[in-house]
Structure 1
């Protein structure tokens, strides 16, 4: 397996998939990361960027795992009994003394939900239930901050997670087919059902400087293209990091005549209620 790995992504679901062969995991509110322990321990972002420095506490804990292990999961930060995504974003964008301070004040945890390699064996072609068994084997007796996410094949338990755990920062549930292999990109074998009212949208352009975009143009699932409201400083930094790894194109204009630079940018969450208005509100980079 070559570093970085292309991660599997869940398709959106409007209802919880049920029936034989479906398993369910609570969706933790954090940053998608892959923990590598091969020649050294590294932390990879969803886009393939090395983020070991930002998640050094997770990487240090990863040294206790068996060598030649690769785990997929979420980097999360717990504050006052719930996951704090704002703290995750602050950590991910911090540098230098500020990063060191945040690491000490708000230590991170790693919620592992898949095992891509075990004892040097690539497991991506194995079914989900085999990879889940390998994950539990790797993490047997492992203390925090690295822990496996819960999993169940009982849809009633999954519904209870959705209804009862929102206060802890659980976003919803990811349903996975027992026989599903680990495939890069979006796959119908993984489906996410959220309780929060957000929509995934593809960034297709931005206004302002590529190093500090002020707004983004997004394409919604129904094909509509909309301009966002002004990005917060943290969101602007997040989008800029992704744009640094993509090729920007030419110039275009929104239907209202505002000029923007075209690009193939990241997927972002937008508040679902804002998609009926002239502009959308970006809540986070996926």
Structure 2
């Protein structure tokens, strides 16, 4: 398997799907990571394919207990006062390596694993069904005595039990549910999974920005109805996270939104999450980069 791997994605749904061969997992509010256990080390990959080992060294160290040749897909989460904190995970992801080490001492990260993409004995497992991959994952973690900070997310085929998770775990920072078809293979880049969130959000395409690329002030995004709108002012962590993508895209061409607001148009192939309710107006609220 070649680095970086393209990860499977999910599409949002408004109600809980129910039917045969559906499997439910709690959706944890953290940062997507792929853990690669190499012969001598562990590397950690972000959803976008960047090497982010330096800011998650505590997880890389824990991953050394796994056998070489394992590649796991999961979510890095940070707990604050017993609750999963996305802002804490975001702060870690956007830190310098030195700052990340200090944050790790105060609030160590956990890696919630939900898939195995490669196994030293079986090779590439992405062509296996979800049910078969999940059984292999559980077997692997048990065989090597894995526990916190690396452990699997729970799963169930019971829709009623999934509803209990959805309602009861929100107070602990669980943002919803992931729904997967048991017979499905792992398709990188495909929105083959479904996600049900407490917060109503949607994914939109980034088509430009205002301000300097190294410190963008607003994003120009294309909404589902085709409109291009500017976001509210980006938070410092979001601006820092998006700046490398915007800078790499090169100089943008001058463009305007439907309301006549100027922005620099670029093709970056990036997606951000926005609050659904804000898209009725010309300014949208970006909650995170994808």
TM-score, normalised on structure 1?
Answer: 0.95
> Does the residue aligned with 2:88 lie in a helix, a strand or coil?
helix
Instruction: Establish whether residue 273 from structure 1 lines up as the match of residue 274 from structure 2.
Output: no
Q: Give 1:250 shift.
A: 2.2
Q: Give 1:248 shift.
A: 5.8
Aligned to 2:158: 154
Cα deviation code 1:121-169 (max 9, x no counterpart): 1000000001101111121131210010000011111111111111111
Which residues of 2 match residues 166-245 of structure 1 at below 5 A?
A: 166-188=170-192, 190-244=193-247
Counterparts of 1:187 and 1:232, CA distance in 2: 27
> Does the residue aligned with 2:239 lie in a helix, a strand or coil?
helix
Contact residue 55 and residue 97 of structure 2 kept, 8 A: no
Contact residue 66 and residue 138 of structure 1 kept, 8 A: no
> Does the residue aligned with 2:245 lie in a helix, a strand or coil?
helix
Counterparts of 2:196 and 2:250, CA distance in 1: 32
Shifted more, 256-265 versus 239-248: the winner is 239-248
Aligned to 1:41: 42
Counterparts of 2:250 and 2:156, CA distance in 1: 41
Q: 1:136 aligns with which of 134, 138, 161?
A: 138
Counterparts of 1:113 and 1:245, CA distance in 2: 32
TM-score, normalised on structure 2?
Answer: 0.94
Q: Give 1:107 shift.
A: 0.8
Contact residue 205 and residue 265 of structure 1 kept, 8 A: no
Cα deviation code 1:21-67 (max 9, x no counterpart): 11011100000110000233100000000000010000000000121
Counterparts of 1:244 and 1:137, CA distance in 2: 44
Contact residue 54 and residue 97 of structure 2 kept, 8 A: no
In structure 1, the gaps of 5 or more residues are: none
Q: Give 1:198 shift.
A: 1.7
Pair 256,224 (structure 1): closer, same or farther in 2 beyond 3 Å: closer
Instruction: Establish whether residue 165 from structure 1 lines up as the match of residue 169 from structure 2.
Output: yes
Counterparts of 1:96 and 1:73, CA distance in 2: 21
Cα deviation code 1:230-255 (max 9, x no counterpart): 10111101111333554664221112
> Does the residue aligned with 1:98 lie in a helix, a strand or coil?
helix
Shifted more, 111-120 versus 252-261: the winner is 252-261
Aligned length: 285
Aligned to 2:19: 19
Contact residue 243 and residue 265 of structure 1 kept, 8 A: no
Counterparts of 1:248 and 1:46, CA distance in 2: 25
Pair 248,75 (structure 1): closer, same or farther in 2 beyond 3 Å: farther
In structure 2, the gaps of 5 or more residues are: none
Contact residue 56 and residue 100 of structure 2 kept, 8 A: no
Shifted more, 15-24 versus 262-271: the winner is 262-271
* Bigger share in strand: 1
Counterparts of 1:61 and 1:101, CA distance in 2: 17
